[in-house]
Structure 1
Amino acid sequence: MIAKFAMAVLMCASALLTTGCWNKLEISDLAIVSAIGVDKAQDIGEYRVFFQVANPSAVASGAAAGGGGGAGAGGKAQTITVYRGVGASLFDAVRNASKMSSRRMYLSHVRLVVFGERLAKDGIEELLDYLKRSNEIRLTTNVVIAKGMTAEALMSVATRFEKIPADAIRGKMKFTSNLFSENIEIQLDDILKAVMGEGTEAVINGVELVKRGDKEAESDAPKEKERYSPPSTKIGPIGVFKGGKLKLWLDDGASRGLAWMLNKMKGTVVTVDFREQKESVSLDVLRSKTKVKVDVANDKPLIDIVIRQEAALINVKSGLDLRNPGLIKEIEASMNRKTREEIMKTVQIVKKEKIDFAGFAGKLHRSNRTAWEKLKDRWNEKLSEADVRVTVQSHVRHPGMNLEPVLSKATGEQ
């Protein structure tokens, strides 16, 4: 009897400890934010925050993308609405933007964070601190810079294929990084590690506006039917930071060299010279593996970069008979030279600007802690004195479906 009574008391007491759904969130009370943009006012230095909020019912019905609320073309509701807020601090701007919505801004589904170029030049460390402290924003969120424009201008561009504009930018970034490797998919976690790490600096992709003001040329179309294409976006160069501030932009060659150095080369097309013919052979990089070793000798950094890659021959401007194995060897040697040139171009920027955006400091810190402790206070200065050796081993695995030239053999040396 006593045991049963004790069991009943224990069950009643345990019921008092249950919390239930005290922090539940109803989907009807949430505004699902797909992208966040941040700018800085030129005159007064205030932050301007933009939330790109998805309209679930419009997305499901296939409405046109657009911002600002209201109806889109044909009276359909737009798939996204942009809410704006201004404040002296980032938190004030976020709070003021939230006042514009009848629902709570829900940030767990943010796919993209956009920084305006002016803001990036002034510094993004305060923003990164806010994003890192947030318990909703994921570290896998992609981050870009609106090159040559504000974040608001970029987030206001409508898209043709994707219902949510943030997905369009993420899709372009993924596609171009896989196909060309002239940009790298940068996530919030990558930036935080670079900014908070010793001796390293962050890199972030830029996104540019493509203004299509030219009329679509149609020789048989009447003049009154000539149309103008709306503006679009494209993935631009990679921005390099120093001390949390944007310092410079890398061109396509240096960006591709950086992808090689960071072992993030997913694929690209390399066009090389063959003998006396300029840019006559194009190769598609299928696989690439990079190993970087950093050490110190005589108080000077020693950097050894080794790249092994495989490629397929995709275009030949001259009539080369690829049945000759000697020609394949020559093409591989040309590819080695071209790859090394692009990597050394990036290395020269690292040394000239004294900015370690290639992660050399982290390599030394992990491999030789003692040497790093001696050099860490002078690391940026010592980078300009570094000895860099680049070794490239290229192999043409697929010469194509036809070894014999279609072009006349007279056009090329055999």
Structure 2
Amino acid sequence: MKSKWKRIFAVLLSVVMCFNLCGCWNSRELNTLAFVTSMGFDKTDTGILMTVQVFNPRAIASQKTVNETSVIVYTQEGKDILEMLRRMITQSPRKMNGTHLQTVIFGEDFAKDGISMVLDFFTREHQFRTDMYFAVAHGTTANNILKTQTKLETNPSNKLFSSLKSSDEIWAGNKAIKLIELVNAIVSDGNNAAITGVELTNPPQDKDNINALQRMEEDPVVIKNLAVFNKDKFVGWINEDECKGYNYLTGNVSETLGSAESKEVGKITMEVTHTDAKRRAAFVNGKPSINVEIHVDANIENVTGTYDITKEENLNKIEKLAAEKVESQCLGSLIRTKEYGCDIYGFGELIHRTYPQYWKTVKNNWSEEFRNLPVSVKVDYKILATGPQGNPFFEKENK
């Protein structure tokens, strides 16, 4: 008898619990959503011009080749980001969805006024992930960048995302930055943000014309230079060599190319396989200073000329020249950023951790203090391999 009542109770309990299950109450069918892949923000006379790229489902799903771009571009002008996104339903038959957002581009003029409003939106809005990359349009607008088709990737956002990620990993001529890192750089004391630049080179007259794009020799959208920020406001650019120096100083170089060049040596190109940067703060004559020791491992990949790379003394000379090149890049980067008064290296944070009491006296004026901060750079460059053939193949013929 007890067993029977237990079974009845279990059934009733299961029925009651079913009422608490919400199911897919907020589900959306795929054919009602427009998936945003890139967003851009430009300054206008009255507010913000927001540009979005969304997947073109007809071009992607078609089994046949169609003369259509894989993305569709929409724009809205206003002052509130969420309001502009919602208002795009008046242009698009589908609701904008940000779960596939890959890249966000700021126009220069927009970035000069500050990007904190955009970052605040992305950190609050639940549908956006935090792994999108950020870039600043160099010499053009974010709208022009997002309206331009690219060559290798049918989706321009995929091209930009992949270029940012790959160049950060194997070139070191830019700095790929995501949402959380960018926010931390802006809000922290003793550190400033740096965002990679993107520009148009020889763009086609008709940016949506696939045939015109195919006739171009190079991709119209390229990653170039690095935008320097003071808090959330853009202040200026550093070039590729200066960006490499920045990455060496911050220990952000995974792989890249190095070189040694002189009249005697010719030009020797090396693949950098590993780097390490040790940064220390010290006090000299009552003032802080920074010492950076950079260690670089590299392999010789290309030799122009007949310089004998099998001799140890010659390898030492190559290492010395390569180390001087890295040191020059680092010092060039420091000179430029000191002109801006922007510590993008986090030296202020290092001093804060090492000398917290002293930091309290300078943190409110760190921009000026950074301009006069002594930074010592020492580079230890080691060549690990010269290649299986040693000297160039044609050395004997030249002799």
State the TM-score, normalized to the length of structure 1.
Answer: 0.85
Counterpart residue number, 1:104: 95
Shift of 1:278: 7.5
Match of 2:175 in 1: 184
Equivalent residue, structure 2, for 1:22: 25
The yes-or-no answer on 1:209 pairing with 2:196 is no
- Counterpart of 1:133 in structure 2 is 124
Match of 1:23, as an amino acid? N
Amino acid at match of 2:242: A
Aligned-residue identity in percent = 26
For the Cα contact (< 8 Å) 1:63–1:163, is it kept in 2?
Answer: no
Decide which moves more: 400-409 or 162-171.
400-409
What pairs with 1:83-232 in structure 2 (closer than 5 Å)?
83-211=74-202, 232=220
Query: Take 1:158 and 1:323, find their aligned partners in 2: how far apart are those partners?
Result: 48
CA–CA distance in 2 between the matches of 1:25 and 1:367?
52
Partners of 1:60 and 1:325 lie apart in 2 by: 60
* Counterpart contact for 1:291–1:307, Cα < 8 Å: yes
Confirm or deny: 8 A CA contact 1:62 1:163 kept in the other structure. no
Structure 2 counterpart of 1:241, one-letter code:
F
Does 2:249 match 1:261? Answer: yes
> What SS does the corresponding residue of 1:241 show, helix, strand or coil?
strand
Match of 2:232 in 1: 244
- Give, in angstroms, the shift of residue 228 of structure 1: 5.9
CA 1:97–1:298 in structure 2 vs 1: closer, same or farther (change >3 Å)? farther
Equivalence for 1:385: 372
Distance 1:164 1:123 in 2: 29
Moved more, 327-336 or 349-358: 349-358
Distance, in Å, in 2 between the alignment partners of 1:148 and 1:63 is 37
* Alignment check: 8 A CA contact 1:86 1:97 kept: no
The one-letter code matched in structure 2 to 1:133 is R
Q: Give distance in 2, aligned partners of 1:78 and 1:253.
A: 35
Describe the SS at the equivalent of 2:128: coil
Q: Take 2:101 and 2:203, find their aligned partners in 1: how far apart are those partners?
A: 29
- 2:187, 2:231 within 8 Å by CA — same for their partners in 1? no
1:8-87 matches, cutoff 5 A:
10-41=13-44, 44-61=45-62, 73=67, 77-87=68-78
Deviations 1:248-294 (A, max 9, x none): 110111110011112111222222234x4486222221211112223
Check the 8 A contact 1:304/1:390 in 2, yes or no. Answer: yes
The AA in structure 1 aligned to 2:235 is: K
* SS of residue paired to 2:27: coil
Superposed CA deviations along residues 297-319 of structure 1, whole A, max 9, x for unmatched, are: 55522212111111111233332
Q: What is the aligned partner in structure 2 of residue 336 from structure 1?
A: 323
Q: Distance in 2 between matches of 1:63 and 1:245?
A: 46
Shift of 1:408: 4.9
- The answer to whether 1:318 aligns with 2:314 is no
* 1:387 to 1:12, Cα distance in 2 relative to 1, 3 A: same
**How far apart in 2 are the matches of 1:135 and 1:184?**
26
In 2, are the aligned partners of 1:157 and 1:231 still within 8 Å (CA)? no
Partners of 1:294 and 1:57 lie apart in 2 by 58
Residues 81 and 362 (structure 1 numbering): CA distance in 2 closer, same or farther, change over 3 Å?
same
Q: Distance in 2 between matches of 1:160 and 1:364?
A: 46
Q: Which segments of 5 or more consecutive residues in structure 1 lack a partner in the other structure?
A: 65-71, 214-226
Quick check: 1:301–1:385 contact (8 Å CA) kept in 2? no
Residue 199 of structure 1 and its aligned partner are, at CA, apart by 2.6
Equivalent position amino acid for 1:112 in 2: T
Contact 2:264–2:307 at 8 Å: present in 1 too?
Answer: no
The size of the alignment, in residue pairs, is 387
Distance in 2 between residues matched to 1:308 and 1:25, nearest whole Å: 53
- C-alpha distance in 2 between matches for 1:106 and 1:181: 33
| CA–CA distance in structure 1, aligned partners of residues 377 and 330 of structure 2 | 8
User: What is the distance in 1 between the residues matched to 2:222 and 2:307?
Assistant: 36
Amino acid at match of 1:30: L
Structure 2, unmatched stretches of 5+, are 205-214
> Shift in Å at residue 230 of structure 1?
8.1
Instruction: Give the partner amino acid of 1:345.
Output: G
- Secondary structure of 1:168's counterpart equals helix
- Partner residue in 2 for 1:67: none
Instruction: Supply the distance in 2 between the matched residues of 1:230 and 1:306 (Cα, whole angstroms).
Output: 39
TM-score (norm 2): 0.88
Question: Which residue in the other structure is 1:223 paired with?
Answer: none
Three-state SS of the structure 1 residue aligned to 2:335 is helix
For the residues of structure 2 that align with 1:28 and 1:405, how far apart are their CA atoms? 61
Q: Which amino acid aligns with 1:364?
A: I
Larger mean CA deviation between 105-114 and 342-351 belongs to 342-351
User: Aligned partners of 1:297 and 1:390: how far apart in 2?
Assistant: 16
Secondary structure at 1:358 match in 2: coil
Instruction: Tell me by how many angstroms 1:94 deviates.
Output: 2.4
Kindly provide the amino acid, as one letter, of the partner of residue 370 in structure 2: L
Shift of 1:7: 4.7
Q: CA deviation at 1:395?
A: 0.7
Q: By how many angstroms is 1:170 displaced?
A: 1.6
CA distance in 2, matches of 1:269, 1:103: 46
Kindly state the Cα deviation for residue 101 of structure 1 after the two structures are TM-superposed.
1.6
Separation (CA, whole Å) in 2 of partners of 1:271 and 1:386: 29
| Aligned mates of 1:229, 1:313 — CA distance in 2 | 30
Separation of aligned partners in 2, 1:46 and 1:386: 39
